Amino acid sequence: MSENVILVDTNDKEVGIMEKMEAHKKGLLHRCFSIFVFNSKKELLIQKRAAGKYHCGGLWTNTVCSHPRSGEDINQAVHRRLQEEMGFDCELKEVTSFIYKSKFDNGLTENEYDHVFVGEYDQEPVINKEEADEFKWIGIDELKKDINSSPDNYTPWFKIIISQHWRKISAILNSIS
């Protein structure tokens, strides 16, 4: 089954629909989301993307990253994908959005309008092995240190969010339990 993505302009206004791989081959701007789930110890749940993913396989990234379906509200999409990839759902709050573009060696380009969501959950996930090979909870100081020493182990969007948008995430994180 082929998946579609929602093409958007730089104001996140929908301008069309395109098959996901075609949009990534052409490098067209499309809507996506990144979910950051923390436990009550303020550790972040990160996943190692499945080795067989179409790009960034085997790299560590935020809890979930994906695209809403055509006609699907982004708030519905984040809960659907959190359940599909990590086997749980929790309350999520959107904290920021940004545009990034990253070209990969396989000829694909991520050109995304990324909506960043934050939530809290205190149990272990049940990961979907088609999406993620591993998961771990990690403190932010340890994570930042590892990103600095081994940046090639992490996805481009994850590094951007941690380096440029952490303050907004941290503000929300400090307001939950």
List, by residue number, the catalytic residues.
65, 112
Give me the DSSP letters along 80-143. Answer: HHHHHHHS----EEEEEEEEEEEE-TTS-EEEEEEEEEEEE--S-----TTTEEEEEEE-HHHH
* H-run or E-run covering 36: strand 30-38
Q: Are 118 and 172 in contact (CB under 8 A)?
A: yes
Q: Are 95 and 169 in contact (CB under 8 A)?
A: yes
